[in-house]
Amino acid sequence: MTGPPPLIPSTTHVILSAAKNLRRKSGEILRCAQNDRRGNRPHYLLRAFTTMQLRRSIGHRSSRRAGRGGFSLLEMIIVVVVIGVMVTIAAPSYRRAVQQSRVDIAGANLRAIWAAERLFWLQNQTYTNDLSQLQALGLLDPKLPITDQTADNQYWDTYFWYTVTLGSTPNTFTANANVEPSRGTSNLQIDQTGTLQGNVTPCGSSAPITAVDFW
């Protein structure tokens, strides 16, 4: 004689068990919330839930920040165009400023030659057209170029070289700042009276540059 068949839980029994478990879990969550409001230590479930939400928030912010880290092709093109316009505007002004500084240095060198000639005249009652003699006497910078050797590294000024031309009388002279024809033209000069005159026209430019006399 066989025993009774095993009992198969009905659908109603399963639903009632699930509702009972849900009610028990809801009661635990409610008690945790009440303890949290009273200042007691939060339940581990709430701590885990809070930590999970914080991690999600941080990850969302990091992903947004990482997505905004690069530049688009249009932004790069705009930056390149703006830089090109700025260079086009600034390049002529920069080149003109460099040329003006060279001419100002040439004017200062002519003024130094004039002072050396004046000192030489006080000792000899005459001027000289030999600048190497003034350099040997210590009246002139020995590195001042006095011949057409602008490519020689011994000279600190490789744009101009300087010569002196004596006048028809022993008490007159003219010192000239010469420039290579491939670099421009120059009639910059100073005479025995200390008058600085003339200008320099760089190659490729139609505007002459006048030296600033700092005397």
* Domain that includes residue 193, residue range: 78-202
Q: pLDDT tens across 59-82, in order?
A: 555 555 555 567 788 889 999 999
Residue type, 35: N
From residue 186, how far is each of 27, 144, 174, 200 by CA, in Å?
102, 18, 14, 4
Report pLDDT for 7. Answer: 47
97: pLDDT strictly greater than 70: yes
More reliable by pLDDT, 19 or 183: 183
Which residue is it, tokens 């120059």? 186
Is 161 a member of any domain? yes
Is 57 a member of any domain? no
- Mean pLDDT value of segment 7-31: 60
121: pLDDT strictly greater than 70: yes
Q: pLDDT tens across 24-38, in order?
A: 656 666 566 566 555
Is 99 a member of any domain? yes
Report pLDDT for 159. Answer: 82
Q: What pairs with residue 173 in β-bridges?
A: 166
Indicate the number of domains in the chain.
Answer: 1
Q: Is the pTM of this model over 0.75?
A: no
Is 213 a member of any domain? no
Is 42 a member of any domain? no
Is 36 a member of any domain? no
